[in-house]
Structure 1
Amino acid sequence: MSKSIFVWGGVALILLSMAGFAGWVLSLPAATAGMEAPPVPREEANAMLASLRPTKRERPLVAIIGLNDATETTDYIVPAGILRRADVADVTMLAAASGPVQLFPALQVEPDATIAAFDAAHPEGADYVIVPAMSRDDDPAVIAWLRDQAQKGAKIIGICAGAKVVAAAGLLNGKRATTHWYYLDEMLKRDQTIDYVANRRLVSDEGVTTTTGVTASMPMMLTLIEAMAGRAKAEAVAHDLGLERWDSRHASGAFRLTRPFAMTVLANRLAFWNREEFGVSLEPGMDEVSLAFVADAWSRTYRSHATTHAAAPDSVESRNGVRIIPDRTGTNWPEDRRVSTFSGGKPAEVLDQTLEAIAVRYGEATTNVVTMQLEYPGPAPEK
């Protein structure tokens, strides 16, 4: 009885606040659609490639830094998966401290090393440091390490809201940059000297590159591969991923807080009695990029969450050496509570298939909420 009173009391409070909420929602813009991403001049694309070319080692060393208690799922896993399948650099997945990296909104990973162990093994620093979005922007160990790596000549790449972490380290001072649409104002308030560049998915300036939202990790890594190993290699990896295009074009105005977005999130949150937990089976050798997209997308609906399971509690190693720790072991998931990673499919196609599955289960409005969070412009138009 007391639990029932608590739940419905919470609903009552929500309803009492609806008048103010309604006014706020009505002040939001309607959905934006049909916006065209402006082309990127060839000179600008060439300048970005030039800025990203390796300058320290013949075979570059890439470090991906993660905060143990919450680092964005796709930001952390996708760069490792793409760069390792390209085999053009040595890639190390790091954690700020010992222990696993709990990703958000789903998955848990065993890092390759701590930042302290990395520094001991590579006192000269990395060639590139990839910075995902993290649960906090001002972790002292991460900030100090990023500054040190930059001083040692590492090129810094802030993925999605990882740009806020880069800004917190003072590495975007006076530079051109971008970030996830939702966190843009926050980043610019942190450092008012940053020159925001609209309509670009990737922005590079003096050794620091930043991207827009979560799915920009794909074009960012392909651009980095092209800078390291040439266009032909990047095209081969893009084909393996299922991508036809990976340039910097972006329609920034299509990604913002809108009335339909806010209303769908509210409706899905209020349906607290109808939360679903979906099982994702971990299999040795599975594609880690596809896994990241599936787990990330299903965990952003405000209706569901993806939970991994395996036969044993040991970590499961993916196709390119990412060690994923299962959330559950020996669980027999009901058939209607399993989600597919579309084994054998190309990662970009798997993302599209996952979004289609979410639309079937929850409707297009919820799928739009997911794509807005991922800042995903959708598949490239057919030529």
Structure 2
Amino acid sequence: MSKSIFVRVGLALIVLSLAGFGGWMFSLPSATAAKEAPPVPQEETAAMLTALKPAVRERPLVAIIGINDATETTDYLMPTGILRRADVADVVMLATGPGPVQLYPALNVEPDATIAQFDAALPDGADYVIVPAMSRDDDPAALAWLKSQAEKGARIIGICAGAKVVGAAGLLDDKRATTHWYYLVEMLKRSPTIEYVPDRRMVSDGSVTTTTGITASMPMMLTLIEAIAGRAKAEAVANDLGLAKWNARHASGAFKLTRPFATTVLANRMAFWNREEFGIRLEPGMDEVSLALVADAWSRTYRSSAATFAVAPDAVETRNGIRVIPDQSGRNWPEDRQVPTFSDRKPAEALDRALEAITARYGKSTTSVVAMQLEYPRQETVR
């Protein structure tokens, strides 16, 4: 697996264009299927909640694993921020090795512990292990640890392309699953016994759950909260996030590689002289979910990237205890090159505002590219 869709798609399209395969682009569909997400039967929802209920501890322990050199930003931070604000479980952010976790496409954070430290302190393992997308699927330490946690009885939740990591660990063999639209073919090629389930943002089979693209971690965490602490608690957290509803509904046909997507990525990538870097000011107590979503979105335009800055080089602690290391310190960022995280808005609204700002700067086609990478169903009333 490459660093991210951001790099992988862009480079692939440039290579194809320079190699004279421009006709390939015209073979792509001109639009995604205009399809409404089908309803999810109530019994299917109930079965997922049952599968996700904690089996051992009254207050569950959730471990979120990342590799140090590149773990997907929102996959790693959003589950942590949402579960900690719910306060229904103990949540630890882990890394395969010592030192910070460089997230992709933006942000750098200090984990709570390494997997070795976690194992030494908690030999019985976690109740839940959340697996984000990573820069590669074959990290030996990550795969061995996932297998050991599964053997100890942990429920495994693969977020986005983290499903490929779960599959590489052999934990999806002969199971029903989903993943980010761009990596679906690759996942099924590497793990051919997986039964792909379309039109679902999350799929549970036994002790393993997988989701579609990046923004699916929000309804996934709300579903987990409901399984642990009940519907009322999940609704309270959803309101805090700015979500009126959440469920497993998903229109898979709305997410695929299209001609407009490919041409926009190629045009933005080729215009390297117009690339911009925007600064995000780190403030103690800021909302980490909004921070992750905004930084992720601005770093997926193929025209811009997001970096963080603070007065001092020390890590800045967010609302729910995530320690973010600033990319730059000791100087202010130019005002015209700063982007807000919309501290006066709820996280779901902050993402919408960021996408509106991207549209104003780069146009609707670039915003569509960002939303497609995030697998964000902007046209649906249910996020």
Question: Over residues 82-118 of structure 1, what are the superposed CA-to-partner deviations in whole Å (9 max), with x where a residue is unaligned?
Answer: 0000000000000000000000000000000000000
Query: Which consecutive residues of structure 2, in runs of 5 or more, have no partner in the other structure?
Result: 1-13
- 2:350, 2:16 → 1: CA distance? 42
SS of alignment partner, residue 20 of structure 2: helix
Q: CA deviation at 1:31?
A: 1.3
Question: Over residues 136-194 of structure 1, what are the superposed CA-to-partner deviations in whole Å (9 max), with x where a residue is unaligned?
Answer: 10100000000000000000000000000000000000000000000000000011000
Judging changes above 3 Å, is the alpha-carbon distance between structure 1 residues 70 and 19 closer, same or farther for their aligned structure 2 residues? closer
Q: Does 1:144 align with 2:144?
A: yes
- 2:199, 2:117 → 1: CA distance? 39
Q: Does 1:371 align with 2:354?
A: no
Q: CA deviation at 1:344?
A: 2.3
Query: Which consecutive residues of structure 1, in runs of 5 or more, have no partner in the other structure?
Result: 1-13
- 2:287, 2:327 → 1: CA distance? 18
How many equivalent pairs are there?
Answer: 369
Judging changes above 3 Å, is the alpha-carbon distance between structure 1 residues 379 and 284 closer, same or farther for their aligned structure 2 residues? farther
Q: CA deviation at 1:381?
A: 2.4
SS of alignment partner, residue 20 of structure 1: coil
Amino acid at match of 2:358: I
Question: Over residues 274-304 of structure 1, what are the superposed CA-to-partner deviations in whole Å (9 max), with x where a residue is unaligned?
Answer: 0100000000000000000010000000000
Amino acid at match of 1:72: E
Would you say the 8 A contact 1:276–1:305 is kept in 2?
Answer: yes
Question: Over residues 10-52 of structure 1, what are the superposed CA-to-partner deviations in whole Å (9 max), with x where a residue is unaligned?
Answer: xxxx699457332110110111253200000000000000000
- 1:257, 1:304 → 2: CA distance? 21
- 2:305, 2:78 → 1: CA distance? 19
Cross-structure match for 1:198? 198
SS of alignment partner, residue 24 of structure 1: helix
Would you say the 8 A contact 2:32–2:254 is kept in 1?
Answer: yes
Cross-structure match for 2:283? 283
Q: CA deviation at 1:77?
A: 0.1
Give the TM-score normalised by the residue count of structure 2: 0.95
Cross-structure match for 2:105? 105
Q: Does 1:43 align with 2:43?
A: yes
Would you say the 8 A contact 2:33–2:253 is kept in 1?
Answer: no
Cross-structure match for 2:274? 274
Give the TM-score normalised by the residue count of structure 1: 0.95
5 Å matches for 1:208-287?
208-287=208-287
Identity %: 76
C-alpha RMSD of the superposition: 1.3
Cross-structure match for 2:352? 352
Amino acid at match of 2:179: T
Would you say the 8 A contact 1:181–1:255 is kept in 2?
Answer: yes
Judging changes above 3 Å, is the alpha-carbon distance between structure 1 residues 212 and 15 closer, same or farther for their aligned structure 2 residues? closer
Would you say the 8 A contact 2:51–2:206 is kept in 1?
Answer: yes
Q: CA deviation at 1:379?
A: 6.4
Judging changes above 3 Å, is the alpha-carbon distance between structure 1 residues 19 and 327 closer, same or farther for their aligned structure 2 residues? closer
Judging changes above 3 Å, is the alpha-carbon distance between structure 1 residues 66 and 147 closer, same or farther for their aligned structure 2 residues? same
